[in-house]
Structure 1
Amino acid sequence: MKHKIAVFASGNGTNFQEIIESVARGEIAATVALMVCDQPGAAVIERAEKAGIDVLVVSRKDYPTKHAFEETIVEACKQHNIDFIFLAGYMKLLGKTLLEAYPHKVVNIHPALLPSFTGLDAIGQAFRKGVKITGVTVHYVDEGMDTGPIIAQAAVPVKDGDTIDTLEARIHETEHKLYPQTIAKLLAE
């Protein structure tokens, strides 16, 4: 069975691109039916449009409450018959409305070995702390900041002479492998 998935993103969309390419190669048994973005003008929108994927752009400031904002997203997901939601650089905390509509069906990727370095700038946090190993975590989403149950992790060593840019490049390279592999396994279960 092919699942219908939605990908939520806020920025450039490199993880989104890896997901749609993995789907196109048949590595993920799914259809990317919807891309949700909370940042008008984000590069990920163009990536989705180029791939022929429906796009929903919603800005929280256009809604009186978080509930109303998330209701709009849930309605779009229901209209597209979405089975799973995968966050790929989506920079908003999800609330009860969305999480209750998709219990245990919302997954995120985070550029650190959780539970360390939650929230924004995780790569920079790890780099400034001087850790020797950091990495990537795929986890279920709950209402906390990167606190949901861990699904998969991959370590990324911090090398002597690394800059934040070289470390970030290796983290992204690891994300681009781990996330599609993990999504494929989750959808096969």
Structure 2
Amino acid sequence: MKSLAVAGLALVLGACASTGVPRQPLNLCAVFAEKSAWREPASDAQAQWGIPASVLMATIYHESSYRHDARPPKRYFLGFIPMGRASSAYGYSQALDGTWDEYVSRQNRWFASRDNFADAIDFVGWYHYGSRKALGLSATDMRNLYLAYHEGRGGFTRQYYLRKPWLMAYADRVQATELNYRQQLRTCSAWRP
């Protein structure tokens, strides 16, 4: 019985370790060295959707800080009455319920989960690929891909982001992260797609 309890504890701790946040999130080579199970899904999504892993990973980092269970903060009325969350965004990709449901349906991924890294990075690739096709964006145009991801393709087309200086500044930060990630992967022994 004691060995069963120890095995159960090891399983729980192992599950927690696999979903923990990388220690050096701004160093993509270190992320892949620490989270070796993420390499294959990142490589697969890059191959499937034609979107560089640096773009996919920068999107996930800036959406969730690599937290599998990330959600928008709760809102409160009068500072103490809970009103729910600002949106249905959840998981690594911060995909909204409706957009995630569209992905699941169109890709026949009925058991996909937003808190599963492999599913989330495939979703990000799928969404960016759709933005490339619908909006004519380059696969490496991180700034505009991120703006389309954040605002939705319709919001991007209507240029809603122009009314949000904070979002445009944030998109510049996402672009800078992607550029650093891309440079890091060029010499990274932990990344071999």
* Global fold match (TM > 0.5): no
Superposition TM-score, scaled by structure 1 size: 0.28
Superposition TM-score, scaled by structure 2 size: 0.27
Structure number with the higher helix fraction is 2
Structure number with the higher strand fraction is 1
Who wins on radius of gyration, i.e. which is larger? 2
